[in-house]
Amino acid sequence: MILARLLSLVGGRKPTAAPAVDPDALPAEVAALLAGVSFLDRGADHDGNHRLLVTLPAGGALRFSREAIVAWMKGYNLNDAQLSRALAMLRGRLAEWQRLQETASVSRGSRWADWKPIHAVPEN
């Protein structure tokens, strides 16, 4: 009672409860790491298997497969819900990268390798 009156005199407020933290939210470190990954298309190997690499912001790369990603994420001690969120975020980054690759190839038009010299001599 006295504390409430004192707080009202000096303009203080009662402390509010801290917002609830989602236990399944990705740690900020993992979210920042996933936001910074990029992809490198290595084409097909000699057996015809497509090779896509995930390049990490801190250096290094790993092959894009669920097993490789899960093995890499084990070092961050994520629970199942966090791991599924991380995989979904990585799939979203891959979809964005693929969309940008398609847009770039369409807007590029001709490639420098398609250049041909002009052999015709202009008439005066």
Please choose, from the candidates 98, 69, 109, 103, the residue with its C-alpha nearest in 3D space to the C-alpha of residue 86. Answer: 69
- 61-63 sheet: strands from edge to edge: 38-44, 50-55, 61-63
- pLDDT confidence of residue 123: 62
Domain spans of the chain, in order of start: 24-100
Tens-digit pLDDT profile for residues 67-124: 998 898 888 899 999 999 999 999 999 999 989 888 776 655 566 666 666 665 556 5
Q: What is the pTM of this model?
A: 0.65
